Every structure is written in C-alpha cells, then in structure tokens.
Structure 1
Amino acid sequence: GIDVEVVAKDPHIKGFSVVKRRWVVERTLGWLMLHRRLARDYEALPGNSASMIQIAMIDNLTKRVTDETTPTWRDI
C-alpha cells in the first residue's frame, strides 16, 4: 500500500545537482538521529529496529502536536 518514487540524478549533469524532495528524507533521518538509541545499530533483530523507529516517530509527532520542547544537552 506504499508508492515509492525513485528519483535518479541526471547523468548529463556533472557535479552537484538538486534531487527532487531529498530534503524531506534528510530532515526525517535527522529527527530520528536525535533519539539516542537509534544513533547506533544496537538491535539484533530487524523487528526491534522497526519498533524503535516507530516509537521515535510517534515521539516526534506528539512533540509537534503538543508544542512540547524537551530540554536536551544542546539547550545548556
């Protein structure tokens, strides 16, 4: 039930080129890396990793909905 669109880099362009909607993926991965347990691959089973990613995304969503900010080491 998921549609995936693979966007490839134009082979005729040399050097840097903007890839469509890549910032969405980069932003999401950045949000996930704020969760300490996901910063390294500690899980032995893929199902455990998927569950931890789901918990992290639920946490991100609830923080956005409630406008809650949790103090972190970056706030010091």
Structure 2
Amino acid sequence: IDVEVVKRNPGVRGFHVVKRRWVVERSLGWIMMHRRLARDYETLPASSEAVIHIASIDNLTKRITDETTPTWRGTY
C-alpha cells in the first residue's frame, strides 16, 4: 500500500481543496451508513475493526449486485 501525505499549503488562508480528500470523505460516509458505526458502541478496537469490515463488505456487495439493504436512516 502506498500512502501519500498531502500537506496544507501555508500560503493559502481559509478553506481550500486538498488533493484526493474526497475519496476518504466518501468512504467514511458510506461506512457511517451503518448504525453501529454512527456512534462508538464497541469497547474493544478489534470489535470496531470487525464492524468496519462488515460494513465494507456490505457496501461492496451492494455495488456488485445493485441491490440495497435497509439502513438505519430509513429507506422508504
């Protein structure tokens, strides 16, 4: 895995777009659609990691099969 750390431009004040940040924000948004990850209910980090894996698998299967599963936000 290659990790690229993108630093802020010290010459720019206020908000500015950081390279590829939208990918992280989008991924976190998809994961947060699962109720157990909306709050920190887990006591062990391993439990949180397992729930994140389950959420990622669910998101991947939704994209592959083009089917949706009910979420806590209420799909009507």
Q: TM-score w.r.t. structure 2 length?
A: 0.89
Which residue does 1:29 correspond to in 2? 28
Q: Name stretches of at least 5 consecutive residues in structure 2 with no aligned partner.
A: none
Runs of 4+ in 1 over 4 A off after TM superposition: none
Letter of the structure 2 residue corresponding to residue 52 of structure 1:
V
- How many residues matched? 74
Which residue does 1:44 correspond to in 2? 43
Q: Name stretches of at least 5 consecutive residues in structure 1 with no aligned partner.
A: none
Q: TM-score w.r.t. structure 1 length?
A: 0.89
Is 1:54 aligned to 2:68, yes or no? Answer: no
**Relative contact order higher in (CA < 8 Å, ≥ 6 apart):** 2
